[in-house]
Amino acid sequence: MALRAVRGAVQLDADEREHLLASTRELVAAVMSANGLHVDDLVSIQFTCTPDLHSEFPAVAARELGMGDVPLMCSVEVDVAGALPRVVRLMALAETPATRAQVQHVYLRGAAALRRDIAQ
């Protein structure tokens, strides 16, 4: 098994608590599914939000998915002029037999524009 970093992002329609939680759950579930991961495979997840999102911590959504014993952390993304607004990003560290080239990074909705080269 190797330790791999898996990236993902989702753009929200609005900074509303339930929308942020639902979108983050969707993102986490998509990352897990695309990579055949289970909660026990996770080492940790780092979430970031653009500075315009402040209705809730994205880690709450991961906890709602049963990740109570996975170390989770949230922070604010760098505030760059012209950056895509209302984006939740994640980087999950996971133990997996997948090679780096086999890891599937997941970019949902408008966040696909962040990485058109690898977005699903």
Q: Which of 26, 64, 74, 95 is catalytic?
A: 74
Residue 115 is a catalytic residue: yes
3-class SS of residue 61: helix
Concerning whether 74 is annotated as a catalytic residue, the answer is: yes
Catalytic residue among 49, 56, 77, 86: 77
Is-catalytic flag, 95? no
Catalytic site includes residue 107: yes
Rounded CA-CA distance 20/39 in Å is 21
109 catalytic per annotation: no
Q: Is 86 a residue of the active site?
A: no
Residues belonging to the active site: 7, 63, 74, 77, 89, 107, 115
